[in-house]
């Protein structure tokens, strides 16, 4: 394929693959083959994530469908509906059908092993998104094609440290989980205690799951404030829940007393950081995870067994913590490149990137 015959979409795709370390001849031959194949039939993929009621999951679906359009992949979506039994039933259904690849974010570790193993045994590449299908060594034994996920411990530690700083290293704090079987939530809880355990004057007064349900968060936090009117901070495992808790705090007239932080770096949370309603969030990139899963699945479908030699078992979808603070050290006023974030707020730029489904 020559340059004149390459569309803008193909140029962007080839650049993306080259940046991932895939050899140039492979990229160009795959794009040529895909363009020819798409005239006969598109690739077919099944995808599922924890639940589209969560804004992060909804953004992931939007991104996957966009990448599917770019790559000529028809995606059938199966909503996990924040219910392990519903998602298991959907994956059981997926396992009875033929797909070019499958990508899944399980709601709970261990819940989907049998049908996923059945797919792999039939030669269907399976990409794991965000949450472990099984312990990592077991996933390797199963033959999972790749696992794309953030560093949940890092994100949690960054946000919780900011909350602790705001608390002055003392007082009462609460943590509200996502769901207990979700390995991302387990990592976020570990990050929370990695920080909190360094501060003997901080008391954790509540630690329970809300299963990513904002209505349940409201109930938990109304009860929590009735029991602990002197609460200083709260860490919630995603932005939707953090904003729901913040609303309860605001309704109770405690908005200036209680500091709240979340994770995901969605638009509403970034805006809340900028206007002071949230202390911090951290970007868990739904586009990088879901778009990367479609790209990896497309590559596996096009390359067959040879794809495993070029795609690693684990791909980190890293993202930064997001604060309102700006590094304004006057010592470097004339050399802003020596300041964190060039002495500017990183939040607006990160907000723009994630709204474009880029980051």
Q: What is the pLDDT of residues 126-170, one digit of tens each?
A: 999 999 999 999 999 999 999 999 999 999 999 999 999 999 999
Q: What is the pLDDT of residues 4-28, one digit of tens each?
A: 444 544 555 555 555 445 555 555 5
Mean pLDDT of the residues in the chain? 90
Going by C-alpha positions, the residue among 148, 5, 153, 134 that lies closest to residue 63 is 148
Torsion angles phi and psi, residue 273, rounded to 5: -65, -45
Q: What is the pTM of this model?
A: 0.88
Do 202 and 222 meet the contact criterion of CB atoms below 8 Å apart? no
Q: What is the pLDDT of residues 238-259, one digit of tens each?
A: 999 999 999 999 999 999 999 9
Q: What percent of the chain has pLDDT over 90?
A: 77
Tell me, rounded to whole angstroms, the distance of Cα 185 from its chain centroid.
11
Longest dimension (CA), the chain: 69
Which domains are seen in the chain, by residue range? 42-150+285-316 (3.40.50.2300), 152-282 (3.40.50.2300), 325-355 (no CATH)
Please give the DSSP secondary-structure letter assigned to residue 125.
Answer: -
């Amino acid at each position: 394929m020559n340059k004149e015959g390459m569309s803008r979409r193909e140029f962007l795709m080839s650049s993306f693959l080259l940046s991932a370390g895939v050899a140039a001849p492979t990229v160009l031959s795959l794009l040529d083959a895909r363009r020819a194949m798409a005239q006969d039939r598109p690739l077919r993929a099944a995808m599922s994530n924890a639940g589209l009621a969560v804004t992060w999951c909804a953004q992931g679906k939007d991104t996957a469908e966009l990448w599917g359009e770019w790559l000529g992949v028809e995606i059938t979506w199966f909503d996990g509906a924040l219910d392990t039994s519903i998602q298991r039933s959907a994956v059981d259904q997926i396992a009875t059908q033929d797909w070019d690849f499958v990508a899944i974010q399980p709601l709970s570790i261990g819940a989907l092993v049998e049908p996923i193993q059945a797919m792999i045994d039939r030669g269907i590449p399976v990409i794991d998104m965000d949450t472990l299908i099984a312990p990592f060594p077991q996933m390797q034994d199963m033959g999972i094609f790749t696992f794309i996920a953030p560093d949940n411990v890092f994100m949690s530690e960054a946000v919780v440290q900011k909350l602790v700083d705001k608390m002055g290293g003392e007082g009462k704090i609460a943590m509200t989980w996502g769901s207990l079987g979700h390995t991302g939530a387990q990592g976020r809880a570990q990050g929370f205690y990695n920080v909190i355990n360094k501060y003997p004057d901080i008391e954790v007064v509540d630690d329970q799951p809300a299963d990513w349900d904002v209505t349940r968060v409201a109930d938990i936090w109304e009860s929590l404030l009735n029991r602990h009117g002197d609460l200083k901070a709260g860490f919630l495992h995603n932005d939707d829940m953090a904003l729901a808790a913040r609303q309860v705090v605001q309704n109770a007239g405690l908005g200036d007393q209680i500091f709240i932080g979340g994770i995901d770096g969605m638009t509403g949370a970034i805006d809340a950081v900028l206007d002071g309603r949230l202390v911090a969030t951290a970007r868990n990139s739904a586009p990088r995870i879901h778009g990367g899963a479609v790209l990896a699945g497309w590559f596996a479908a096009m390359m067959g067994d040879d794809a495993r030699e070029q795609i690693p078992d684990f791909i980190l979808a890293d993202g930064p913590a997001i604060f309102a603070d700006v590094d304004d050290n006057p010592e470097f006023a004339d050399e802003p490149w020596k300041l964190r974030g060039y002495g500017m707020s990183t939040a607006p730029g990160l907000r723009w990137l994630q709204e474009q489904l880029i980051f």
